[in-house]
Structures are given as structure tokens and as C-alpha cells.
Amino acid sequence: MIFRIIKFAFQNFYRNFWLALVTITILTVALFSITALITLNVIADKSIKSIEEKIDISIYFKKDADIQRILATKMEVSKLPEVKKTTLINKKDALNWFRQKHQNDKAILSSVDILDENPLGDVLVIKAKNTNDYQKILKFLSEKKYDDIIDRRDFDNKDHKEIIAKINAIKNKVRKIGYIIIGIFSFISILIVFNTVRIAIYTHRQEIAIMKLVGATNWFIRAPFLVEEVFYAFLSSMILISVFYPLLNFLEPHLNYFLNYNVDLLNYFKNNFFLIFGSEFLVISFINVFSSFIAMKKYLKV
């Protein structure tokens, strides 16, 4: 019986080739728009992450601070769950690092040059796991016990705080907008797919009635159509994959150049292949089967 159902499904497919082609095209376009939106979301996310990665806080120790206490402070900060990485820069390297960091600020550089000796102490550069965590880390370092060894914290700078806050706000907004757009597009795509399947079934309405009059059970009629719908979903997913990867391969170098950052989209889609394309196939199959089921119900009442 299963063999018979599959055979009928494939017969339906190639004997209604143009209808099948139109259905598959619409399904592929719907899947492509969703995947394109996911791609845009990934690009936005990765771009923000690249900015986030450039953010850190610097703790400037006093020139005469005890190295043992500085090392102990580094250890304590490293143990905080919010901290991703800590780097201790000694006085000499700190000066070079400071010059590099402010290479575009001539006023700061010339004021450093005027001084006879190195004005800096050791510097602890801290990178947090999340930009929201910097305030917590700073709060930890604001404890009184550190006052006698810490000279200043560059995160106290108001501009710095504002930039982080803005990045966080942008990040959250971009994510929110991304999800909303994907949601709206998914909804529109579902409606389009639902109606496409309904039209496809509508064209078969007389056949369905005839099958019923000849004595076929509802499931004997339904099953080939449902198998056919899953086959449509499979084919459109395959077409999507075979178009999407070469397109991504072509676009990625241009994107990297444009964003001045390696977004590594190919790798992202490679690592999440089954999650993205597998889910898309399952969801579109479900929508197809569900739409088909609903659309056929009416014509089976013979």
C-alpha cells in the first residue's frame, strides 16, 4: 500500500508538472526570503559583536603599587564570572600600548613626550563576556581595598559609558527588529504557501470527488497528496540550498570588504546547516501537509 501511495504521489507530480513547478517556485521564494532575513540578522549580530570585541576597560595602577597586590587583583578579577579575559601590561609596555591606543590624539601624545619619565604604572586590561557586565566589574574594583593601588579606571569616562550603552541599545533594537521582520515575513510566507497548496488541491477537487465515488477511503485519497506536499518541501529546500550557498560564496568577500570584518557567513551556515535548513524543511513540510489536509477536507465530503 505504501508503495502504491508513493507511486501515486510521483505520478501526480510529473503529470501535473507545471502546477508542481509553480508550487515549488513559490515555496522556494518563501524559503529564500526567510533565509535571506536570517542572513541579515546574522550579519547585524556579527557586526555588533565585532564592535563589542573592540571594547575593554583599562585599570591604571599607581606607579608605586606593589606588584604582588597587582597580581592578586588580576587573579581576583579573572575569577569573576563576567570576565572573559584579563591582560596585565607592565609599565614599559604600558607606555607603548598607551601611545598606540592614542595614536590619533596628538595632544595626549605630545603631553606624554614632554615628561621626562614614564608617567604610567602597570595597566590591567579587562574584557567582559558581555558589554552589560562592565558596570559589575567596575563596581567590584571600586571597593575601597583597591583605592590605594588603583590610579584610575578609564571606564569612569562618561563617553565610554555612553558608547557602551548605545551599542547595547542598538544591539537589542537590531535583534528585536530582526525577529519582528522575520516573524512578519514568516507569517506572510505561511499565508502564501497555505493558499498555494489550497489552489493546488482545488485543481484536483474533481479527481478527489471521483476517487470517493469509486470507493476510495479518505486516507487512500489523502496520502499521495500529503506525500507529494512533503516532496515539494524537500525539492524547494534542495533548490534553496543549491542557490543559497553559491550566492553566499560569491557575496561573502564583498561583504567582508564592505563591513571591514570577517563575518564568516559560510562557516556560520555550515555549522548551523541542519538547524536552519532542517528546520525550514520541517516547517514548510508541516505547513504543506496541514494546508493540504485542511483544503482536502471540503472535497472529501462526497
Partner 1 sequence: MVELKNVSKIYPHNVVGLKNVSINIKPKEFVSIVGQSGAGKSTLVKLLIAEERPSSGQIIIGDWDITHIRRSRIPVLRRQIGVVFQDFKLLPQKTVFENVAFAAQVCGEKNKKIKELVPKILNIVGLEDKSHRYPQQLSGGERQRVVIARSLIHRPKLLIADEPTGNLDSINAKEIIELLLRINEHNTTVILVTHNKEIVNSLKKRVITIAEGEVISDKEKGRYIL
Binding residues for partner 1, rule: CB under 8 A, are 1, 4, 11-12, 15-16, 206-207, 209-217, 220, 302
Q: Smaller CB distance to partner 1: residue 137 or 227? A: 227
DSSP codes, the chain: -HHHHHHHHHHHHHHTHHHHHHHHHHHHHHHHHHHHHHHHHHHHHHHHHHHHHT--EEEEEPTT--HHHHHHHHHHHHTSTTEEEEEEE-HHHHHHHHHHHTTT-HHHHHHHHH-SS-----EEEEEESSGGGHHHHHHHHTSGGGTTTEEEEGGGSHHHHHHHHHHHHHHHHHHHHHHHHHHHHHHHHHHHHHHHHHHHHHTTHHHHHHHHHHT--HHHHHHHHHHHHHHHHHHHHHHHHHHHHHHHHHHHHHHHHHHTS---HHHHHHHTHIIIIIHHHHHHHHHHHHHHHHHHHHHT--
**In angstroms, what is the minimal distance from the CB of 209 to partner 1?**
8
**In angstroms, what is the minimal distance from the CB of 222 to partner 1?**
13
Q: Smaller CB distance to partner 1: residue 16 or 186? A: 16
Q: Smaller CB distance to partner 1: residue 81 or 215? A: 215
Q: Smaller CB distance to partner 1: residue 94 or 227? A: 227
**In angstroms, what is the minimal distance from the CB of 220 to partner 1?**
6
**In angstroms, what is the minimal distance from the CB of 25 to partner 1?**
21
Q: Smaller CB distance to partner 1: residue 1 or 107? A: 1
**In angstroms, what is the minimal distance from the CB of 216 to partner 1?**
4
